[in-house]
Amino acid sequence: MAKIHELIVDLNSFEFKKTIDVVLDPDFTEEIKLTSAAETHIELYKDKDSIIVTGSVKTILEENCARCLKEVSIPIEGTIEATYVLQDSVVFEEDRTSADLDNVLRLEGDLLDLSERVIEAIIVEVPQKVLCKRDCAGLCPYCGANLNDEQNHSCQKREEIQDEWHKAISDLREKLKS
């Protein structure tokens, strides 16, 4: 398997088009927890003042369920898209940064590191709320038991620990009753 350094491209190493097919180790990044290699395909096209980058990445990552905290494997098929432009060809004003332009980034120097584009393509495919199953019951709010494993769970620890906000609401509710 390849290492991340294979995603650093010398722009002088090709004239018009370059293709990169690389299988990256699951531990190529510390930002996300991958459980399989990242199959990456990238194509670079040189234009007069820019480099257009397209491609794809396939992998499997691991996240925790938002309700029960069980580890969930998520298959990812991400799209890599970016345009790198020479600093002089596009005006990057102080109040309109490159982030305001869709995937348009400054091209500085002769080396182009595409690792951030690969990581970005993976991250944007992760669902905002990961669930182990659609009807995940979550954890018991009193004892923390996984309610998926104990469907008839009846918690003996019914005493709720309240923070200051919930305590104030509870006190207000009691005052309104009396």
Query: 85 and 148: one domain?
Result: no
Residue 133 maps to a domain = no
Query: 156 and 82: one domain?
Result: no
Give the number of other CB atoms < 10 A from CB of residue 55: 21
pLDDT at residue 158 in the model? 64
pLDDT at residue 159 in the model? 59
Domain that holds residue 176: 138-178
Q: Of the residues 123, 149, 167, which one is the last residue of a structural domain? A: 123
pLDDT digits (tens, 9 = 90+) for 45-70: 998 888 999 999 999 999 999 999 99
Residue 130 maps to a domain = no
Residue with the bigger pLDDT between 54 and 3: it is: 54
Query: 43 and 94: one domain?
Result: yes
Query: 116 and 69: one domain?
Result: yes
Residue 148 maps to a domain = yes
pLDDT digits (tens, 9 = 90+) for 92-129: 554 444 445 567 888 888 889 999 999 999 999 999 99
Q: Are 109 and 88 in contact (CB under 8 A)?
A: no
Tell me the two tokens of residue 52: 């257009």
Q: Which amino acid, residue 38?
A: A
pLDDT at residue 103 in the model? 77
Residue 163 maps to a domain = yes
Query: 119 and 142: one domain?
Result: no
Query: 54 and 81: one domain?
Result: yes
**Model's pTM, two decimal places?**
0.75
Query: 111 and 158: one domain?
Result: no
Q: Are 84 and 51 in contact (CB under 8 A)?
A: yes
Residue 131 maps to a domain = no
Residue 162 binned pLDDT confidence (cut-offs 50, 70, 90): low
Q: Are 8 and 22 in contact (CB under 8 A)?
A: no
Burial of 40 (0-12, 13-18, 19+ CB in 10 A): buried
Residue 143 maps to a domain = yes
Residue 166 maps to a domain = yes
Query: 102 and 14: one domain?
Result: yes
Query: 163 and 119: one domain?
Result: no
Q: How many domains does the chain have?
A: 2
Q: Are 18 and 114 in contact (CB under 8 A)?
A: no
Residue 54 maps to a domain = yes
